[in-house]
Chains A and B, each alone.
Chain A
Amino acid sequence: MASSESATVPADRKRPRSVGRFLRSQMRNIAPFLTLICLTGFFAAASPSFATLDNFGNILTQVSVTGIIAVGLTFVILCAEIDLSIASIANVTGIAVAYFTLQDSYVNIANVPMPGWAAVMLALALCALLGVVNAFGLTVIGIPSFIMTLAMMQIAAGISALLVRGQIAYKVPDVITTLGSGSIGGIPCIVIVAALMLLGGHLVLTYTRFGRYVYMVGGNREAAEYSGLNVKLILGSAMVIAAVCSGIGGMLGVAHFGSAQQNEFDTYLLDSIAAVVVGGTSLFGGRGGIGNTIVGLFVLGVLNNGLDHVNIDSFLKILIRGLILLAALVINVYAQRLRERSVD
């Protein structure tokens, strides 16, 4: 019969090879972790104020909004798609929830006050709707996600602009204020929310049928379709999940920063994509997960926070962040190649 070869391989020769193969195939998970350890070690040595419990709390708080947004983005990237509208959707959702809340009289916005729960519901409906539009463009019309979400980025920014008209709103519903800037037993609520959402994302991806489908669609879309999966439904769901996560991140972010205004979340697009990819989730889809995203979040968080502690030229910081991101991308692609070779 076809291949009974494996049976005749001496056991002693099998082992070291399979360990090497295992390490190579796990490259994408190991490399980000090593990066994190190196960065932490470096900053801990460079600055006495870095490796403190307080500062660890700072880092957690600093990555929370990115973390919430990155949960949904992880689904999208696992499907081998991209969503460039996440930051804009976060922004417009944050603005919308403020728009539907009674602002102080000095705030010059023609807002529509509503009960808190209704404001939150409307804001969530808005981000879900924008996600549905993304999903529709991608799956029904067939616009590549890169372009579709680029357009959505503008659309969401446009809605934001129309709502606030260059002004700044401050009030959001109490529940959002609590979740965004309150704390329970010394732990900021926003950290708890981020942790719960990351956990939820992980459980969905790992233990549900939908999660498996996400990996399969990302791994080989054609095969998924020929296995009778509803690929469009899965891709569309991922886009909606990304939009809703962004919306939640946006609402809590507005509460956390204390204000809602245009362009407030612009840096979060790059940060979220960076967190997912630096963590080792494959841009080609099908590999990675929330665990990787968490490591990526910490890499970014430690980097951003640490650079403040070592008192470096703030303009150089931007360059360094870019270089680290590039290095992570190189590792991402290289890990994919190593893996393919080890499977070959």
Chain B
Amino acid sequence: MIPQRAPILELRGITKAFGGVEALRGVDFALFAGEIHGLVGENGAGKSTLMKIIAGVHAEFSGRSILDGKDTRFRSTRDAHAAGIAMVHQELSVAPDLSVAENVFLGTQPTNRFGLVQWRRMAREAGEQLAKFGIDVDPMSRLGDLPIGMQQLIEIARVLFSGARIVILDEPTSALSPPEVERLFATLRRLRDEGCAIVFISHFIEDILRVSDTVTVFRNGRKVAETEAAATSKAALIEAMIGKGSEALGETYTDDIMLPPPTDRPAVLKADELTLARSLQDVSFEARGGEVLGIYGFMGCGQLELARILFGKIKPDRGTLIVGGEPKSFASTAAARRAGVAFVPESRRAMLFHQEPVYKNISISVLGRISALLLKPARERSIAARQVEQLQIRPAAVELELGMLSGGNQQKVALAKWLSYPPRLLVLCEPTRGMDVGAKNDVVNIVRDLRAKGLAVIVLSTEPETVLSLADRIIVLKRGAVVREFAHEMVSKDRLLQAA
């Protein structure tokens, strides 16, 4: 319920533009102590921008920001920190080479009167704090050695325990397994009961509804609805988000769906007993033309490493790859590309050139085909323009710097770079992570299109919905080993979760 008190933080008439594109238009927003406030909206709707204003990341904006009844203007994240506001960003920001304890106490290590770090005290207190969160790790172990999901939990824990009064979490659950999500929610509820104000941004509307007291919906830079979580439903929120009836889009995959019979086309790729220290154990599978193979598993199950082996970025310790009937041992990603393998990693940052125009981002993978020595910029632009048109990338301007595009559109660019000359095998990691419903549907349609053209597609994801919406056949990875294959049978979110 919405407490009838003065808000701890109030924003009035916030407007913010990036290079002429208005990300927020006259938004009012109020946050109360002791509430969890869910934010939903499609990519580019403005929710992250608003939160970055609150957290001091964006210092330039118009409108008023009132903290504890006083007009406040943060010039940096430091200012916001000092005022008790902390944010966990969508992208992991930890120091992988430092210990868990050092990460928990980053910038606030306990010191003795000579200014030396008290290691034992730091380790003990870090262990205690993490234990409250249900995290049981050696505080002195190197953070980078832990699974990504665990790293994310530790980062969230650090912010939650930093003593902040206002905590903003941007998509905190996307890299977490269900039990980890439960732990996070329990901690959020406890902090709320202790009087914290928590903002929770997520595309997982079920998560929002489960944990939030209040939900605010953004659309196109405007706040379009604010309601008590108990008084709304997923369908209603989706309708507010996209502004149209959403029955067709409300696919939840809780019901069984039937996987199609296996295709009799030859295998484009055969992986045989791939093994990598600490990540993969005797993983074997086939990817056939005209088929989408889904590889599902929780964070840290080895799928990221598997994908990198397929694209020649990591060499397996043991096992063979057979591409198009020939055994291959890729010396580099360039060799994998020449063999007809294309790859889209799970992070856009690892795939795109933010300072370069859209057309250079799209043409980079095909330059070798369109030019021997000299570049052909006109050809590049026309190839890019065709992809922009086909994938409906917005705004449709190939000269625009990539960094100006919204996240979902950047993701489409990452796909587009491989599609001008379709590869034999397309490996997609988390192709729809962090995307809104509309953009997700676009990606599903693009992948189906490629399948129809006879490509072999491998989709690796930690989100069951992603795999279920795309795959014709699904294998489940658990701790680096294949534990289950679903082919030509009934499958559902429950069954996948149970297998993993």
Chain A residues packing against B (C-beta within 8 Å): 1-9, 13-14, 17-18, 21, 207-209, 211-213, 215-216, 219-220, 222-233, 286-287, 339, 342-344
Contact = CB atoms under 8 A, between A and B. Distances in A.
B367 A2 contact: no
Interface string B350-378: 11111110001000110110011111000
Contacts of B365: 227-228
Interface of B: 17-23, 42-44, 58, 220-221, 311, 313, 332-334, 336-338, 342-345, 349-356, 360, 364-365, 367-368, 371-375, 392, 394-395, 401, 403-406, 408-409, 417, 436, 438-439
A87 to B, nearest CB: 31
What 9 pairs between A and B have smallest CB-CB spacing?
A228-B337, A230-B334, A343-B403, A3-B44, A14-B20, A2-B408, A3-B406, A222-B350, A6-B21
7 contacts: A9-B20, A13-B20, A17-B19, A209-B368, A220-B353, A228-B343, A344-B403
A225 B438 CA distance: 30
A339 B408 contact: no
Contact of B373 (A208, A215, A226): A208
B344 to A, nearest CB: 8
A226 B395 contact: no
A2 B20 contact: no
A136 B356 CA distance: 29
A2 B42 CA distance: 6
Contacts of B23: 5
Contact of B220 (A5, A13, A208, A229): A5
A232 B360 CA distance: 20
Given A9-B20, A344-B403, A209 B367 contact: yes
B355 A287 contact: yes
B311 A1 contact: no
Contacts of B439: 1-2
A342 B19 contact: yes
B93 to A, nearest CB: 16
Contact of B333 (A2, A220, A229): A229
Nearest to B242: A1
B21 A9 contact: yes
B22 A5 contact: yes
A230 B338 CA distance: 11
A227 B368 CA distance: 12
A226 B343 contact: yes
Contacts of A209: 367-368, 371-375
A72 B58 CA distance: 39
A227 B355 contact: no
B351 to A, nearest CB: 5
Contacts of B22: 5, 8-9
A141 to B, nearest CB: 16
Nearest to B367: A209
A255 B65 CA distance: 68
Given A1-B439, A3-B43, A228-B338, 4 more contacts: A3-B408, A6-B395, A226-B351, A228-B333
Given A2-B409, A219-B356, A343-B403, A226 B350 contact: yes
A226 B313 contact: yes
Given A230-B334, A343-B404, A220 B364 contact: no
A342 B20 CA distance: 11
A211 B371 CA distance: 12
Contacts of A207: 374-375
Contacts, number: 134
Contact of B364 (A7, A216, A233, A339): A216
Contacts of B343: 226, 228
B353 A17 contact: no
Given A13-B20, A17-B19, A286-B355, A343 B392 contact: no
A208 B334 contact: no
Given A17-B19, A343-B404, A232 B353 contact: no
Contacts of A229: 333-334, 364
A2 B332 contact: no
A228 B334 contact: yes
B384 to A, nearest CB: 14
Centre residue among B42, B350, B372, B439 by max chain A CB count within 10 A: B350
A231 B374 CA distance: 19
A3 B395 contact: yes
Contacts of A227: 333, 351, 364-365, 417
A296 B74 CA distance: 38
Nearest to B24: A5
A13 B373 CA distance: 43
A5 B21 contact: yes
Contacts of B406: 2-3
Contacts of B403: 343-344
A106 B452 CA distance: 81
Contacts of A287: 355
Nearest to A343: B403
A224 B438 CA distance: 29
B333 A225 contact: yes
Nearest to A234: B334
Contact of A225 (B221, B313, B354, B375): B313
A344 B375 contact: no
Contacts of A342: 19
Nearest to B348: A223
B405 to A, nearest CB: 8
B402 to A, nearest CB: 9
A8 B344 CA distance: 32
Contacts of B349: 220, 222-223
Given A18-B19, A228-B337, A2 B436 contact: yes
B43 A2 contact: yes
Contacts of B404: 343
A6 B371 contact: no
Given A4-B220, A220-B353, A225-B313, A212 B373 contact: no
Nearest to A21: B19
A213 B375 CA distance: 11
B334 to A, nearest CB: 4
B353 A216 contact: yes
Contact of B352 (A6, A220, A231): A220
Contacts of B21: 3, 5-6, 9
A213 B360 CA distance: 10
Given A227-B364, A227-B365, A5 B44 contact: yes
B19 to A, nearest CB: 5
Contacts of A17: 17, 19-20
Contacts of A226: 311, 313, 333, 343-345, 350-351
Centre residue among A5, A9, A286 by max chain B CB count within 10 A: A5
A224 B373 CA distance: 18
Centre residue among B20, B338, B365, B375 by max chain A CB count within 10 A: B20
Nearest to A8: B22
A313 B387 CA distance: 63
B332 A232 contact: yes
Contacts of A224: 364
Given A223-B353, A344-B18, A212 B394 contact: no
Contacts of B333: 225-231
Contacts of B375: 207-209, 211-212
A102 B360 CA distance: 52
Contacts of A230: 332-334
B239 to A, nearest CB: 16
Given A228-B334, A232-B332, A3 B409 contact: yes
Contacts of A7: 395
